[in-house]
């Protein structure tokens, strides 16, 4: 089976993939630099370069990259830069362009010196449909990082745009989105599925931006089907 690597979204860690790690033993859920070890990168492409070094150090070969939101942007960037080093993509609640609401960015910028716990008030709504125990555990970790880290990641997202390059991709791609995602609306996923030849779109009902945490059984089932389809 090809190596499966999960890549978290802005301000997160690999711990958000707990349901997927349980379902897919041997998979890897990376934690990007700056949380807290290392320095955060200043662009999606810079995170991509960190990921390439990570993969090379572990001799993973050409993996399947599964990314959510910013993580999906990193996966897209990786596949476009290194098509021969990417077996397949799983893009969850993501997009080829990841514009962020300017008011959201300004709120973080205006409060950048607040203690890390301040971010909880901003982030809690994103996890509203996640089971309480899991939600609180994820927020405890996420909200231990400086506000500057979250702002940095969202600025990386805001500058990301590979919409015109999607037709270059010629590898298996699974696109997953919750039908209630307001951060990366369904139209983002539909666009990717339309522009990437041979890709498949799965829409999960009654799910939002954290679809992989809100509806883990449904998402894991689709990932399992996709991994079986692409084989060894």
- Grouped pLDDT means (10 residues each) for the chain, 232 residues: 94 97 97 95 98 97 97 98 98 97 97 97 92 95 96 98 98 98 96 96 97 98 97 75
CA 86, CA 65: separation in Å to the nearest integer?
A: 7
pLDDT of residue 1: 72
Domain extent, residue 168, equals 4-96+161-230
Spatial CB neighbours of 196, under 8 Å, sequence gap ≥ 6: 166, 167, 169, 173, 175
pLDDT of residue 231: 86
CA 130, CA 135: separation in Å to the nearest integer?
A: 6
DSSP string, 130-184: S-HHHHHHHHHHHTTS-HHHHHHHHHHHHH-B-GGGGGG--S-EEEEEETT-SSS
> Is there a domain that residue 46 lies in?
yes
> Is there a domain that residue 145 lies in?
no
pLDDT of residue 7: 98
Number of domains within the chain: 1
> Is there a domain that residue 111 lies in?
no
pLDDT of residue 158: 98
User: Strands across the sheet with 64-68, in order?
Assistant: 28-30, 4-7, 64-68, 88-92, 173-178, 200-204
Supply angle C-alpha 166, 213, 210, rounded to 5: 50
> Is there a domain that residue 136 lies in?
no
> Is there a domain that residue 190 lies in?
yes
76, 103 contact by CB (below 8 A): no
> Is there a domain that residue 118 lies in?
no
pLDDT of residue 163: 98
Report the chain's terminal Cα–Cα distance, integer Å. 5
> Is there a domain that residue 122 lies in?
no
What is the three-class DSSP state of 216? helix
> Is there a domain that residue 183 lies in?
yes
What pTM did the predictor assign?
Answer: 0.97
Whole-number Cα distances in Å, 190 to 151, 160, 176: 27, 18, 10
Supply angle C-alpha 211, 214, 220, rounded to 5: 70
pLDDT of residue 232: 64
The CATH number of the domain holding residue 42 is 3.40.50.1820
């Amino acid at each position: 089976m090809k190596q499966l690597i999960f890549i978290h979204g802005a301000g997160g860690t690999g711990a958000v993939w707990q349901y997927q790690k349980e379902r897919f033993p041997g998979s890897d859920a990376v934690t990007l630099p700056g949380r807290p070890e290392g320095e955060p990168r200043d662009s999606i492409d810079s995170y991509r370069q960190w990921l390439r070094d990570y993969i090379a150090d572990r001799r993973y070969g050409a993996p399947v990259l599964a990314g959510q939101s910013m993580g999906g942007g990193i996966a897209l960037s990786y596949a476009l830069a290194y098509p021969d080093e990417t077996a397949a993509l799983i893009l969850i609640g993501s997009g080829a362009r990841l514009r962020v609401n300017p008011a959201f960015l300004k709120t973080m910028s205006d409060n950048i010196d607040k203690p890390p716990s301040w971010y909880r008030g901003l982030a809690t709504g994103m996890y509203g449909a996640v089971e309480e125990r899991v939600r609180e555990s994820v927020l405890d970790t996420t909200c231990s990082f400086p506000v500057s880290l979250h702002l940095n990641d969202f600025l990386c997202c805001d500058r990301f745009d590979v919409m015109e390059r999607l037709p270059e991709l010629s590898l298996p791609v699974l696109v997953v989105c919750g039908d209630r995602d307001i951060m990366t609306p369904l139209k983002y996923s539909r666009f990717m599925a339309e522009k990437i030849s041979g890709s498949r779109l799965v829409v999960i009902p009654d799910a939002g931006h954290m679809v992989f945490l809100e509806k883990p059984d449904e998402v894991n089932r689709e990932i399992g089907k996709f991994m079986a389809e692409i084989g060894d």
